[in-house]
Amino acid sequence: MTNALKAEKENLDALEQIVLGVAHELNNPNAFVRMNTTNLKKMFRLLRPCLEEYEKNHPEKAFGPYTLPELRSKFNQHLEGILEASVRMITIADQLKQCTSDSMGRHCEVSLPAVITDMIRAHEFRMRGSVEVNFDFDEGKTYTVMGHRLQLEQAVSTLLGNACDAIVERFGSEPIGRGRLIISITEKTGHLFVHVSDNGTGMDSETLEKVFTPYFTTKPQGAGDGLGLPLCRSVIGRHGGTISIESKEGAGTEVTIQLSKWKNG
């Protein structure tokens, strides 16, 4: 290799490292933006009955230039705008990675129990006292895959959020003693299976066929963007895995993710 070609390759390698760093720096804070915005939406939904009661008793009350209905609408619009921008940032980060060589696709070892434990903790404010969570796996084994931890966290977070929403939809905003969320990891023939099962409202067959369609949602306006499960499937697919859903209306939903186990895991 000539000196000129060697210098060019070194420059390209340096450029790829810069692009990788930019994509990484985009994804890390963006994950927290998306999660915290989603949490704000859910908290605002919990406040909705109080706001509606206040509006009923004070129909003429204004908050600056806005009436209470206008303020609630604006609040939802701004949160949706943040989430849409967050999704766009994920797309930009992925496109940056795709513009480079295979070195940009390097994965690292990721512990699935650690990912799930962290995401349960992230959703704890919704589950505490209302949803009983059971996370079952053999602590004597390792359940490791090769992948991007941040992306896997986003996928798991989507599933936990959907399960909580389904439980609330079935039992009300305080399903104390009735909400059940069961998560387990099993292993078979070199593959790991993550099962996320809830006893929420479930889905009919027509809805089930559409859940991976972008922008399709059964949630009220302002409560869902219809991108969670499509993004979840995209993440699992990029990790060489599959995701499937079984559900029965009024009886809950079970999501199964299949991933290849890291041979040294």
**Residue ranges of domains in the chain:** 1-106, 107-265
* Mean pLDDT of the residues in the chain: 81
Q: If DSSP states are collapsed to H, E and C, what string results for 124-177?
A: HHHHCCCEEEEEECCCCCCCEEEECHHHHHHHHHHHHHHHHHHHHHHHCCCCCC
- For residues 81-101, give the mean pLDDT: 69
Confidence of residue 38 (pLDDT cuts 50, 70, 90): confident
Asked if 34 and 79 count as a contact pair (C-beta separation under 8 A), the reply is no
- For residues 105-125, give the mean pLDDT: 85
Rg for the chain, CA atoms, rounded: 21
- For residues 53-69, give the mean pLDDT: 85
Torsion of CA 214, 215, 216, 219, to 10 degrees: 140
Which two structure tokens, joined as six digits, stand for 30? Answer: 């963006």
Helix (H, G, I), strand (E, B) or coil at 203: coil
- The residue to which tokens 């949630």 are assigned: 219
Architecture of the domain made up of 107-265:
2-Layer Sandwich (3.30)
